Amino acid sequence: MFADVVGYTRMVEANEAQTLRAFDDICAGLVRPALEQRRGRLIKLTGDGFLAEFRSAVSAVECGMAIQSAMAARAAEPHIAFRIGLHLGEVIEENGDLYGHDVNLAARLEKIFEPEGLCLSNAVYEAVRGRVGGHFEDGGRRALHNIERPVHVWHWAPENRSYGLSGPPTAGSPPRPARPSLAVLPFTNMTGDPAQEYFADGLVEEIITAIARLRWLFVIARNSTFTYKGRAVDIRQVSRELGVRYVLEGSVRKSADRIRISTQLIDGATGNHIWADTMNGPLAEIFDLEDTIAEGVAGASEPKLRSAEIERARRKPIANLDAYDFHLRSLPHIVAGTAHDIATALDLLERAVALDPAYALAYAEIAGCRLRQWLIGASVWSRAAGLTRRVRWSVS
């Protein structure tokens, strides 16, 4: 049995102490007792999950069902959810830990089903069929990351499952950060060549690294987004689970000696496409192409994300705006540059710094607006007034 917490990295960033305390409480009060009741052995805690071993497949499945049912009914905050994978096979035990192909396969299984459920290999299902209650759904044969052959899988979920289902965000969804946030999903390998998986995965890592250099944008770590690899997902659900506003997805296709990369940027709240593009290059220069595409996606995404953020702020009720949104609303007026627009921008920026006295970018924009007013004759420079304003800003 391999279990993993959904969206753990994002939850730790939002509130590390609360998340760690909740995970420890769940392990002590729920996971360990469930394992003991069914003669399961906790091999190790992985920080954001656990690995366990059982003497029988029936005990393992019953334990997994008990854990997931209890987790789905848990009302305490934060709403933590597990994914659990179960596989029957040979293992190697060394220094109190388990190793081997079948352990890796169990770890892959937990990543391909919805939160609060179980994903069973066919070996486990055949061992428990007719011996445990509950409805198991045939998931068909699935290709798993770094597993040579597709695996036939079965799914089970408790009736009270609630995490990640369609509907408005719940208290259990990770909170979205104040600045715009993006998740880059694993790219789909459409080449038909499993050897090209490394290129698709490496490309996503390069794109995440390139976009992470944009200091105004929060990018979800690779470990969180790669839990969606090989799964057909609803972008709006991904947005809720990871607590992000935008999702970037793509695909890799090989034709003869060339590679084609298709990418699309999607609004996580509505599912609407913001931007899409296709880039091509020679397969012989695959590593240089990886860098070029990563930089191209990052460069093309930035203005589209900024435009989307400005439009989002424009639609937001004025009473609900925060400092960042006031700054966004000022940008179109700064670009317009008329006396009236600059005055409007200054009003918005002054509201931004009133909410956040340490907002350096807003202060810089105010300085630029003041200079623009002086250049177009919309204001008269006063050395005394200018010095007073500069002193007030530095003190704040």
Distances (CA, A) of 255 to 160, 197, 202, 258, 262: 46, 15, 19, 5, 14
- Are 298 and 336 within one domain? no
Domain assignment present for 311: no
Query: What's the mean per-residue pLDDT of the chain?
Result: 79
Could you tell me which residue, 159 or 383, shows the higher pLDDT?
Answer: 159
Rounded Cα–Cα distance for residues 2 and 107 (Å) = 5
Residue finishing a domain among 122, 156, 190: 156
Could you tell me which residue, 318 or 394, shows the higher pLDDT?
Answer: 318
Domain assignment present for 170: no
Domain assignment present for 150: yes
pLDDT greater than 80 at residue 386: no
* Maximum average pLDDT range among 193-202, 203-212, 228-237, 243-252: 243-252
Domain assignment present for 174: no
pTM of the model: 0.44
- Are 236 and 363 within one domain? no
- Are 368 and 268 within one domain? no
Residue 312: predicted pLDDT: 64
Mean pLDDT, rounded, for 55-67: 94
Residue 388: predicted pLDDT: 40
- Domain residues for the domain of 244 are 181-302
Residue finishing a domain among 156, 171, 204: 156
- CA 17 from chain centre, in angstroms, equals 20
- Are 140 and 188 within one domain? no
Distances (CA, A) of 189 to 139, 202, 236, 292: 20, 12, 22, 19
**Stretch among 16-25, 70-79, 299-308 having the lowest mean pLDDT:** 299-308
DSSP-derived pairing of the beta strands 82-86 and 118-121: parallel
- Are 259 and 369 within one domain? no
- Are 247 and 152 within one domain? no
**Stretch among 95-99, 162-166, 289-293 having the lowest mean pLDDT:** 162-166
Domain assignment present for 50: yes
DSSP-derived pairing of the beta strands 188-189 and 118-121: unpaired
CATH number for position 138:
3.30.70.1230
For the segment 305-354, what is each residue's pLDDT rounded down to a tens digit? 777 777 766 655 554 457 777 887 888 888 888 888 899 889 889 888 88
- Are 199 and 343 within one domain? no
Residue 144: predicted pLDDT: 75
Domain assignment present for 166: no
- Are 329 and 298 within one domain? no
Domain assignment present for 164: no
Mean pLDDT, rounded, for 64-78: 87
**Stretch among 121-130, 224-233, 337-346 having the lowest mean pLDDT:** 224-233
Per-residue DSSP letter, 97: E
- Are 298 and 322 within one domain? no
Rounded Cα–Cα distance for residues 233 and 40 (Å) = 32
Q: How many domains does the chain have?
A: 3
Domain assignment present for 355: yes
Residue 43: predicted pLDDT: 92
- Are 231 and 323 within one domain? no
Band of pLDDT at residue 171, cut at 50, 70 and 90? very low
CATH number for position 260:
3.40.50.10610
Residue finishing a domain among 259, 278, 302: 302
Rounded Cα–Cα distance for residues 384 and 263 (Å) = 53
- Are 243 and 190 within one domain? yes
Location of structure tokens 């623009």:
372
CB 164 within 8 A of CB 241: yes
- Are 289 and 368 within one domain? no
Rounded Cα–Cα distance for residues 210 and 130 (Å) = 51
Mean pLDDT, rounded, for 53-64: 94
